[in-house]
Structure 1
């Protein structure tokens, strides 16, 4: 029962994050995109950059950021490379973001959460 509640809360956070991104001019390319390396919560496009977003539902911003462990960061980066190849975006820079939902009235969007700038 507890796991089902957490899963539902996570799905709601993903939808809130998607609407937030769309309101900021991002084009959503995919949601819950599965790859051999794992799942990507949200894939979006803005300004010639493929933006991969991990959505976290947490009570504080810090808890949301710490929830993306170094191992999860590596998995997400590998999955992002796979998606870029699948969508023929080989030359596009990739940015890895985190959106924490529930930490405040508006979601907190951390751009380039674990790399200083878009990478390839």
Structure 2
């Protein structure tokens, strides 16, 4: 598949993930935020929690469930550390989440996806 196809799928996935999070009561603060340390697909807030969200779109539910890796989450973490002062206030809980998507399957939202 072409890079353009993957780019379109990624944007579609991010839009679907934003819709899904809004339906769960989250407010989307930003999309596709780039820093020198990495990129965050979505920044969302619900109450006093700010989530820096990695979105993965895969062709099947099985591939979706294996789409996260430690290297990718560490890059999101580095970007989130750079962005936290911009989006979080004192006393907010800040975390790294993931929303995993595949055709014909419900989205899978993983809170605190970054494992120590």
TM range (shorter): 0.7 to 0.9
Partner residue of 1:57? 57
Alpha-carbon RMSD across the aligned residues, in angstroms, is 2.0
TM-score (norm 2): 0.86
Partner residue of 1:11? 11
Superposition pairs for residues 40-55 of structure 1, below 5 Å? Answer: 40-55=40-55
Distance 1:16 1:54 in 2: 13
Partner residue of 2:29? 29
Distance 1:77 1:103 in 2: 27
Superposition deviation, residue 68 in structure 1: 2.5
Segments of structure 2 that go 5 or more residues without pairing to the other structure are none
- 3-state SS in 2 of match to 1:7: helix
Distance 1:104 1:70 in 2: 26
Segments of structure 1 that go 5 or more residues without pairing to the other structure are none
Which whole-Å deviations, capped at 9, do the CAs of 1:55-89 have from their partners, x for residues lacking one?
11113345334333211111101111111112353
TM-score (norm 1): 0.84
